[in-house]
Structure 1
Amino acid sequence: MSLTPAFLDELRARTLLSGLIAKTVKLQRAGREFRACCPFHNEKTPSFYVNDDKGFYHCFGCSAHGDAIRWMTEQQGLPFIDAVKELAHAAGLEMPEQDRRAAQKAERAKGLHDVMSDAAAWFTERLGGIEGSEARALLKRRGISEATARAFGMGFSPDSRGKLRQALASYGDAMLVEAGLLIQVEGKEPYDRFRGRLMIPIRDARGRVIAFGGRIIGEGEPKYLNSPETPLFDKGRTLYNLDRAQAAARKTGRVIAVEGYMDVIALAQAGFDEAVAPLGTAMTEHQLERLWRMTEVPLLCFDGDSAGQKAALRTAHRALPLLQPGRSLAFVPLGDGLDPDDLVRTKGAAAFEGLLAQPQPLSDLLWRSEVAAEPLTTPEQRAGLKQRLTAVAETIAEPSVKSEYKAEFRERIDKHFDRGPREFQPRQYQAGGARPGRGSRNARGVWQPPEAPPSAKARTLGTDGLDPALAKAVLAGLIRHPVEIARHMEVLGSLRTASGALGKLFEAVIDVALEDRQLDQGKVLTILARSGFDQVASDLLRADTLPFSFCRSNPADAERAREDLNEAIAVMVEQPAVDAALAEATACLSRDGSEEAFTRQVALSRRRQELLERLANLRLADEEEFDD
């Protein structure tokens, strides 16, 4: 089947996105858009918007974003091709014809789904019969109720080489082998793969059985036996219990990844339906991506023994190259060699909930691992720690996240070795002296701010909402560094309501990022031109005279330019709020002259001055760069 871009565009054009989403989410009209509380995370104030004209939805809280097809795959859990088929049927579009090979593959997959469904039903019958008594006793010892066993479709495979083969003989040996239910040895009759085991069905995101996990009843190896890889089952891309967990995760706003089937089942019985597990291997990149599609910071709760701790660390390092702004991992340490199954059975659901409420951030796990790696008594060992942490941060692909990790590790090293915080110190001038009105260095070389009050321009900065010059500089910086737009989507979204041309410009820049997350400067300019902002964008990019590194066409240090841009955005967003609060405190002081009003006015004045100095430091650093 060939799904051309033209066909998919026609499908999107014929689908009323708000109508599709309104089937499961209560939408409210908000101007030309619709809004609602986000279905992808818990929130009380609506930040989820649907735009029919542009054909996308976006949440400013969790950054969930997509079109009608993405809605069907993310929210409804459908595979891509099934989502397209369902939308095409609703829109009255004929699906493109399949080629012969694709049609044969689809037919074979349909047959495999049927055989797996029948096998699961047969195993379930055996569990309830006389031959399943030992398996039922095992479940009772593990504290698994009959209701839980039924909910997870658990079953039993008799200790026989041919009973399943005989029961499903109508499918033929070839299909049973392809489904992974029989083992074929050259020159011999095929025989049942699973024998004498408690059977646990593995389902895809739509709830269809695609594989099995079998636990030995008594003694023997392996303790757990999984289906082999088949046309239906890719172990590295599958998460156990995903079909049940994705719906639960939308309600709780979290997903819990544990090590094994029984952990998931025990947690579900205790009320934690949002748990999933990899299938006997370390977490893969594909499985991590699937977790991130459910929540920005999945909770990983591996066993408390040394093997579980090693698995957590392997997952942490595997996740580093994939990190994005707002997207990370958190770890729930159990300790005492416990696993989640043991914990909820012995200490109860409340104890586990308490651990979930205090997870360990990814940066903590990495830091503690490297600190514990070797003694830190000599300068060489401390240098080794710094080198290892730098190497860890370097594996992060996303530039802004990498920068944050480096800064975090530097601060932790200073604190750990009691070096105190680092002071911001602009670079020295060539002559080592002071620039009039810009402060100076004292005898120890520490930078001193100017004693004179700020200039008239500085005193009026931000008193009327956004400072126009700073806002234009930030806009120029965002166009030159488009990757930073997504990082600040939420705070920039708050500026959509700004009055006048600045508000329209910020709205246009946000819409650019919503259209395409893989942006470069050329794409930004092209999209802005379509919205009628080509001349404005060109004018902004000619703003090389603005005294900020991020406005330059070729900054000497690109990473530093992005850091300066992030700092400027923080100042720009906070400054109007501080100014408004300061004006209110000043008015209150003039009315009643209370000590409380005076204290608040002083604190706000100090905060405003700090913001001005932060902005001045950005300008100073940039001017020095171009004076050298």
Structure 2
Amino acid sequence: MSGRIPESFIHDLLARTDIVEIIGARLDLKRAGKEYKARSPFTNEKSPSFFVSPSKQMFFDFSSGKNGTAISFLMEYDRLSFVEAVEELAQRAGVEVPREGGRNDRVVMDGPLDALAAAQRFFREQLRSAQGAIDYLKKRGVNGETAKTFGIGFAPDSWDALTHFLQDPKHAVEAGLLIQKDSGGVYDRFRNRVMFPIRDTRGRVIGFGGRTLGNDPAKYLNSPETALFHKGRNLYGLYEARQSAKSNLPYLLVVEGYMDVVMLAQHGIPEAVATLGTATTREHLGLLFKATNKVVFCFDGDRAGRAAAWRALEQVLPEIDGTRECVFMFLPDGHDPDTLVQEIGAEAFRALVGEAQTLSQFLFGELGRQVNLGSMDGRAKLAALARPHLEKLREGPLRVLMLGELSNLTRIPRADLESMLKAPAAAEAGTPEAGEPVSTRQRPSGNAHRPVRRVMQLLLEDPRLADRIDNLELLAQAEVPGIEVLMEAIDFFHAHPEATAAHLLEFWRGTPKGKGVEKLLLQGAEAPVGESGLEAELRQIVGMLTQRALKARVQQLLAESRLRPLTEAETREINALMQQQKGRVGS
């Protein structure tokens, strides 16, 4: 039977399986405290160094270095393929292994991913008979082939059309497709909207964006944040852009709207992606630079567009090195990428991309607007304004060249500029003083991994602790290495309340994150974490990370306020953060 086995089924299968029974049927396990031990089946050792953890549902073999779940053990010991190992466990559990992509049209609801895939099929089928939606797409210039490529569909003007189609609402609610009523029952989130499926890098639908065809005040509506979908960690069109490339992508063009991506692709520029109603994040940049070495930010040329470009620049500075490039393209007044490419065509549009401002041109150009370079004071001010941004750059050719450019503009010798940048590094790294821009702190050292690593260890020991972590949005902004992986682990355990460390390991099978979890689990097996005080320790570390993130965001906004007036939303945000900061100090 062909077709992919749904990940949700594998998760449920591991939950049904007792790894002690699986391994105990093959090895002579002896109780050793809370674990079981045996001699390694993979080496010729004489003393036991093979351990099985019932709480983690994992095995650890310190003789051979192997470790993993019940599936991993069957693959190693019985020499089975992954599919064969899953089928073996499924047979023991008395369940049938479902497959995706087969000829069976039955809606299989084994998890949120399956619900999202089923919803996409439903929306695409509905588009066939939705003349209003078809007319809207034709008016916008979208042809049938493009609609098919991007999986565009239509959500009927009904409160329960999708509800009736999916039948079992549980996973559809988890996926953000349906909304739970306070009085019981569910109803459709998306109604009378042209639907744009949002795919992850593997091509799986993880959310939707819907454009209203009515008088809804919310012209566009995105899926809510779920365990699968995060606006700050996903990009619309990235999967399609990578699929279109026969080799490496020459660049990725970052735009703002679904239709911008769709129409650029239709006109022969498939290298476009869109943020999902949020500013560019470090997680976005990680996705972009995995796919290409050059990122082109495309914004309106007005004040709001330049402010958005500036926020993107601040995020990208720490990510740029000698192998990566970032440029800024500003559109003519009255145009967005959608309308501009239809007016001037792909060749002229690509020519504009080629004329985009380099990172140094944009940085020094924006800062130069605030000073008078004809005066000594103005040149000194430019050096002071540029300093926190240059400090974010990694050591390398770009930093050297930008210091040279700043030296030409300010007439300050480059050696003096170098000394200016090195001065903060001699101080002890730590919490910035009040009013000190966050960018003047030292870059995190290797030791900065330790708080995140410790929280991960605690979560792997007792995944229920994920429910004890609050202020997730603020925690995600902590400028420490590994925070993105930690947030993904928290999201996973929130979405799967009964999951163990084995489930997370299987979910991240074959990825760098999975290997990192293996290392942490091995460390935990060698030196088990005590049960007493786990929650207290977790709260202490998370509180420290959250406080660090809070201070960083406040300092970032304060630094921005020196360069430009804050928006109304930013003013509300900084006031709320400073109140929260006072509350934490007083508590």
Give the alignment's TM-score, normalised by structure 2. Answer: 0.51
- Alpha-carbon contact 1:109-1:232 (below 8 Å) kept: no
Rounded to whole Å, the distance in 2 between the matches of 1:332 and 1:318 is 17
- Alpha-carbon contact 1:229-1:235 (below 8 Å) kept: yes
What are the equivalent positions in structure 2 for 1:471-486 lying under 5 Å apart?
A: none
Residue 231 of structure 1 and its aligned partner are, at CA, apart by 2.3
Closer/same/farther in 2, CA of residues 95 and 152 from structure 1, 3 Å limit: closer
Closer/same/farther in 2, CA of residues 396 and 93 from structure 1, 3 Å limit: farther
Residue 354 of structure 1 and its aligned partner are, at CA, apart by 1.0
Rounded to whole Å, the distance in 2 between the matches of 1:356 and 1:175 is 43
Q: In structure 2, what residue type is equivalent to 1:205?
A: T
1:197 pairs with 2:197: no
What are the equivalent positions in structure 2 for 1:318-337 lying under 5 Å apart?
A: 318-337=315-334
What secondary structure, in the 3-state scheme, does the structure 1 residue paired with 2:300 have?
Answer: coil
Q: In structure 2, what residue type is equivalent to 1:229?
A: E
Q: In structure 1, what residue type is equivalent to 2:402?
A: Y
Structure-2 residue corresponding to 1:187: 183
Structure-2 residue corresponding to 1:254: 251
Residue 180 of structure 1 and its aligned partner are, at CA, apart by 0.4
Residue 328 of structure 1 and its aligned partner are, at CA, apart by 2.8
Q: In structure 2, what residue type is equivalent to 1:262?
A: M
Q: In structure 1, what residue type is equivalent to 2:201?
A: A
Structure-2 residue corresponding to 1:141: 139
Q: In structure 1, what residue type is equivalent to 2:143?
A: S
Closer/same/farther in 2, CA of residues 232 and 373 from structure 1, 3 Å limit: same
1:265 pairs with 2:262: yes
Rounded to whole Å, the distance in 2 between the matches of 1:150 and 1:289 is 28
What are the equivalent positions in structure 2 for 1:384-395 lying under 5 Å apart?
A: 384-395=381-392
Of 225, 228, 250, the residue aligned with 1:229 is 225
Rounded to whole Å, the distance in 2 between the matches of 1:422 and 1:204 is 45
Structure-2 residue corresponding to 1:355: 352
- Alpha-carbon contact 1:304-1:338 (below 8 Å) kept: no
Residue 317 of structure 1 and its aligned partner are, at CA, apart by 0.9
1:118 pairs with 2:118: yes
Q: In structure 2, what residue type is equivalent to 1:162?
A: D
Residue 369 of structure 1 and its aligned partner are, at CA, apart by 0.7
Residue 175 of structure 1 and its aligned partner are, at CA, apart by 1.4
- Alpha-carbon contact 2:152-2:195 (below 8 Å) kept: yes
Residue 270 of structure 1 and its aligned partner are, at CA, apart by 0.2
Of 273, 279, 290, the residue aligned with 2:276 is 279
CA deviations 1:52-105 (Å, max 9, x no partner) are xxxxxxxxxxxxxxxxxxxxxxxxxxxxx9xx99xx89xx6766999x9xx9xx
Structure-2 residue corresponding to 1:49: none
Rounded to whole Å, the distance in 1 between the matches of 2:250 and 2:313 is 21
Closer/same/farther in 2, CA of residues 93 and 386 from structure 1, 3 Å limit: farther
Structure-2 residue corresponding to 1:154: 152
Structure-1 residue corresponding to 2:341: 344
Structure-2 residue corresponding to 1:462: none
What are the equivalent positions in structure 2 for 1:294-333 lying under 5 Å apart?
A: 294-333=291-330
Of 210, 215, 219, the residue aligned with 1:214 is 210
Residue 391 of structure 1 and its aligned partner are, at CA, apart by 2.1
Residue 398 of structure 1 and its aligned partner are, at CA, apart by 3.5
Q: In structure 2, what residue type is equivalent to 1:384?
A: K
Residue 376 of structure 1 and its aligned partner are, at CA, apart by 4.6
- Alpha-carbon contact 2:298-2:329 (below 8 Å) kept: yes
Closer/same/farther in 2, CA of residues 374 and 413 from structure 1, 3 Å limit: closer
Once structures 1 and 2 are overlaid, which stretch shifts more, 388-397 or 204-213?
388-397
- Alpha-carbon contact 1:157-1:194 (below 8 Å) kept: yes
Question: Cα RMSD between the aligned structures?
Answer: 3.5
Q: In structure 2, what residue type is equivalent to 1:404?
A: L
Residue 374 of structure 1 and its aligned partner are, at CA, apart by 4.5
What secondary structure, in the 3-state scheme, does the structure 2 residue paired with 1:283 have?
Answer: coil
Rounded to whole Å, the distance in 1 between the matches of 2:109 and 2:242 is 24
What secondary structure, in the 3-state scheme, does the structure 2 residue paired with 1:210 have?
Answer: strand
Q: Structure 1, unaligned stretches of length 5 or more?
A: 3-80, 425-628
Structure-2 residue corresponding to 1:371: 368
Rounded to whole Å, the distance in 1 between the matches of 2:184 and 2:343 is 48
Rounded to whole Å, the distance in 2 between the matches of 1:407 and 1:320 is 17
What are the equivalent positions in structure 2 for 1:403-442 lying under 5 Å apart?
A: 403-414=400-411
- Alpha-carbon contact 2:255-2:272 (below 8 Å) kept: yes
CA deviations 1:93-134 (Å, max 9, x no partner) are 766999x9xx9xx999952222111111111121111xx222
Closer/same/farther in 2, CA of residues 406 and 110 from structure 1, 3 Å limit: farther
Rounded to whole Å, the distance in 2 between the matches of 1:333 and 1:174 is 45
Closer/same/farther in 2, CA of residues 394 and 202 from structure 1, 3 Å limit: same
Q: In structure 1, what residue type is equivalent to 2:300?
A: D
Closer/same/farther in 2, CA of residues 228 and 300 from structure 1, 3 Å limit: same
Residue 306 of structure 1 and its aligned partner are, at CA, apart by 2.9
What secondary structure, in the 3-state scheme, does the structure 1 residue paired with 2:209 have?
Answer: strand
Of 217, 232, 238, the residue aligned with 2:234 is 238
What secondary structure, in the 3-state scheme, does the structure 1 residue paired with 2:201 have?
Answer: coil
Residue 147 of structure 1 and its aligned partner are, at CA, apart by 1.8
Residue 371 of structure 1 and its aligned partner are, at CA, apart by 0.9
Residue 381 of structure 1 and its aligned partner are, at CA, apart by 3.0
What secondary structure, in the 3-state scheme, does the structure 1 residue paired with 2:331 have?
Answer: coil
Closer/same/farther in 2, CA of residues 305 and 248 from structure 1, 3 Å limit: farther
Structure-1 residue corresponding to 2:555: none
Residue 378 of structure 1 and its aligned partner are, at CA, apart by 4.3
What secondary structure, in the 3-state scheme, does the structure 2 residue paired with 1:206 have?
Answer: coil
Structure-2 residue corresponding to 1:463: none
Residue 413 of structure 1 and its aligned partner are, at CA, apart by 3.3
What are the equivalent positions in structure 2 for 1:94-109 lying under 5 Å apart?
A: none
Rounded to whole Å, the distance in 2 between the matches of 1:298 and 1:377 is 33
- Alpha-carbon contact 2:193-2:212 (below 8 Å) kept: yes
Q: In structure 1, what residue type is equivalent to 2:120?
A: A
Q: In structure 2, what residue type is equivalent to 1:118?
A: A
Rounded to whole Å, the distance in 2 between the matches of 1:93 and 1:283 is 44
- Alpha-carbon contact 1:197-1:216 (below 8 Å) kept: yes
Residue 303 of structure 1 and its aligned partner are, at CA, apart by 3.0
Q: In structure 2, what residue type is equivalent to 1:293?
A: K
Structure-1 residue corresponding to 2:523: none
CA deviations 1:233-252 (Å, max 9, x no partner) are 22222111111212334355
TM superposition outliers: structure 1 runs of 4+ over 6 Å: 106-109, 421-424
**Number of residues of Structure 1 aligned to a counterpart in Structure 2:** 328
Closer/same/farther in 2, CA of residues 235 and 422 from structure 1, 3 Å limit: closer
- Alpha-carbon contact 1:330-1:362 (below 8 Å) kept: yes
Residue 423 of structure 1 and its aligned partner are, at CA, apart by 12
